[in-house]
Structure 1
Amino acid sequence: MLPFITDIAALEYGGVAASWTQDVPAFQVLREKRVLDFRAPITVITGENGVGKSTLLEAIAVNAGFQATGGAYTGKFNPYENPLQTVAKAHTGKEPMKGYFLRAETYYNVAGRQGNEAPGWVNLHHMSHGESVMHIVQHAFVGKGLYLMDEPEAGLSFIRQMAILAELSLLAQNGSQIIIVTHSPVLMAIPGAEIWEFNTSGELHRGFELEATTGFRALRDFFEDPEGIAEYMVDVTRES
């Protein structure tokens, strides 16, 4: 296990879990393995909708002390009823935590809460969604720390995804730890990242090559025959 100084070394199952988490594939894995340790500066978590990727990231965030809705780590976390605080324990380093939790689901609300005082002293609502995400990465993801990202590709063009890939790679090279939940094969390609793929059967495939991921294979198949795949999906949907 990497001896991270300030970041997440592992997520350990424990406590009294809310009953609904027992049906979440990612938490079935956590319960079975007891500990999920982080061995690389960048961990990319992927898998189909519903396997619990974002919920697992939220568990990491709230147990590290971030607000569940996201935003910068301020050290002023006010605990509240969150069932994920009883599911697992985050093992962190000895130095004070710092970083940012970017969560697609609540990003609009966080931007509104910051108003004109978002990082860089701007109003994120005055930008497009993609522009504001890029702005956050460039102005809030600074210095060594823990950076958690839930589906940051939402609203980003293909080119902007590649730009964020480069920003995150440099951040990790300078000593930060990054954990990303994504469906984007572009972000899965970050150099040096360890890829985790959860499936609906409650299995974790760890250390996947990019080309072996479901997201990459689906995109490759589409590019090889876009018209054929489109027609096939329309026919399948019509029959169902």
Structure 2
Amino acid sequence: MNPLPYLKSIELKRNDIDSFADYPFSIPSIKELDLVEFGEGVTIFVGENGSGKSTLLEAIAIGMGFNAEGGSKNISFGTRDTHSDLHRFLRFSRSYSKHRDGYFLRAESFYNVATKIDELDEAPSYESVYTPPIKDNYGGLSLHQQSHGESFLTLLIERFSGRGLYILDEPESALSPTRQLAVLSRMRQLVKRQSQFIIATHSPILMAYPGASIYLIDSTGINPIKYEDTEHYEVTKAFLNNPEPMLKELFGED
């Protein structure tokens, strides 16, 4: 029996919420959240800045046992406690089979994760004599010795091993279009190794993953949408096909 998806669905426990005027329940998309079902391989959340994508992804990650700032389940730290309590008000439906690998990549705090890995590798301990450095799982180099984009790719290629639950918040932020295509290729390999991806992104390239379940997060809630119907696809296609008229309109030029 196929164990995927490891996370089958989430549901907002509306009766447990005292007031929808309080953050994060005051966010329109969260206020309207009901039930979200995840795809077997890749589920993608899209929406404008401030729509609640990162808040939702953070809650999912915490609810599945990851650190709020990112990393694997074995990395526990906090530079600043800013996460919401949304995870406490979500009902998680899980697969009968547990994932063997997992990671929460949060672009905005990946620097902190890299720093924590260096600190753990540099700290003297009895166990370190018998345990390989953590950086060996990332290609043998400190993530701080790689560019932002290189460290993201290293994470997917070297650290992600398969049969995993991988939660990625705007992974395209440090990647060129060519590198985003490389990410798509690596995702395909990992999905074939029984992995599940849950991604929040603005990238029309990553959204194009074949068969991905795509949800639009906006003031009406969290609803399924076709790739070709996303604003990201429509605007990007229109611009690339004929940029001059759009540029003239943006610049207010005749």
Distance across 2 between alignment mates of 1:53 and 1:76: 23
Per mean C-alpha deviation after superposition, the further-off stretch among 109-118 and 92-101 is: 92-101
Alpha carbons of structure 1 residues 3 and 53: separation in structure 2 relative to 1, 3 Å: farther
Larger Rg, first or second structure (1 or 2): 2
- Residue number in structure 2 paired with 1:45: 45
What TM-score do you get using the length of structure 2 for normalisation? 0.81
1:113 to 77, 96, 116: 116
Distance across 1 between alignment mates of 2:26 and 2:220: 9
- Residue number in structure 2 paired with 1:232: 249
Per mean C-alpha deviation after superposition, the further-off stretch among 216-225 and 176-185 is: 216-225
**How do residues 92-171 of structure 1 correspond to structure 2 at under 5 angstroms?**
92-97=94-99, 98-115=101-118, 117-118=134-135, 119-120=137-138, 121-171=140-190
**How do residues 211-222 of structure 1 correspond to structure 2 at under 5 angstroms?**
211-222=228-239
1:166 Cα offset (Å): 0.9
1:39 Cα offset (Å): 3.4
Does 2:27 correspond to 1:24? yes
Q: Which runs of 5+ in 1 are unaligned?
A: none
**How do residues 54-93 of structure 1 correspond to structure 2 at under 5 angstroms?**
54-74=54-74, 82-93=84-95
Distance across 1 between alignment mates of 2:230 and 2:248: 23
Q: Which amino acid aligns with 2:70?
A: G
Q: Which runs of 5+ in 2 are unaligned?
A: 122-133
Query: What SS is found at the alignment partner of 1:72?
Result: coil
Query: How many residues in Structure 1 have an aligned counterpart in Structure 2?
Result: 229
Alpha carbons of structure 1 residues 189 and 4: separation in structure 2 relative to 1, 3 Å: same
1:9 Cα offset (Å): 1.2
Does 2:12 correspond to 1:13? yes
What TM-score do you get using the length of structure 1 for normalisation? 0.85
Identity of aligned residues (%): 35
Alpha carbons of structure 1 residues 158 and 75: separation in structure 2 relative to 1, 3 Å: closer
1:60 Cα offset (Å): 0.4
1:235 Cα offset (Å): 3.1
Query: What SS is found at the alignment partner of 2:252?
Result: helix
RMSD (CA atoms): 2.6
Q: Which amino acid aligns with 2:67?
A: Q
- Residue number in structure 2 paired with 1:178: 197
